[in-house]
Amino acid sequence: MSTMPILTDEQLTPEAAAVFAEIRALRKTDFVNNFWRVLANDPPALKRTWESLRQVMGPGALDPLTKELLYVAVSMANSCEYCIRSHTAAARARGMTDAQYMEMVSVVAMAAETNRMVISLQVPVDAAFLPEQPGPFNQV
């Protein structure tokens, strides 16, 4: 149960309703999921978050499936069940297979294991991994 109400379309402010209309138009579906319905309790936060998400997840240097995989992987690292499930659905809609999903789980878990080894042992960064830095880096 959410800590704030899951708003129905009838309960939206005009500002929130306008965001819902954009979500529906871009996604080509009438379905608006609970995340937006709870966030709609704060219309400016709803609008800001939707616009940021649209910008970050829109066309760019990485292909849409890779971006969704990254979103799911980070949600796994952050233990967010809702986010794992909603972005897994989005990744499947973009073509993710079961084999890719299971492989991603192994990468996420393997990274968790070696991340923890490195931190536990306080391994210092090899000079080879530091960026060469012609100028601006040296200012700091």
The Cα-based distances of 65 to 11, 58, 72, 79 in angstroms read 34, 11, 11, 21
Residues 47 and 39: their CA atoms lie apart, in Å, by 9
Residues 129 and 125: their CA atoms lie apart, in Å, by 7
| Residue with Cβ nearer a copy of itself (26 or 109) | 109
| Residue with Cβ nearer a copy of itself (25 or 78) | 78
Closest CA to 72 of 46, 98, 104, 44: 104
Residue with tokens 């995340």, as numbered in its chain: 35
| In the complex, least distance from residue 25 CB atom to a copy of itself, rounded to whole angstroms | 19
| Residue with Cβ nearer a copy of itself (21 or 66) | 66
Q: Which two tokens stand for residue 121?
A: 């042992």
DSSP-assigned letters across all residues of 32-51? --HHHHHHTTSHHHHHHHHH
| In the complex, least distance from residue 49 CB atom to a copy of itself, rounded to whole angstroms | 7
| In the complex, least distance from residue 12 CB atom to a copy of itself, rounded to whole angstroms | 11
| In the complex, least distance from residue 29 CB atom to a copy of itself, rounded to whole angstroms | 10
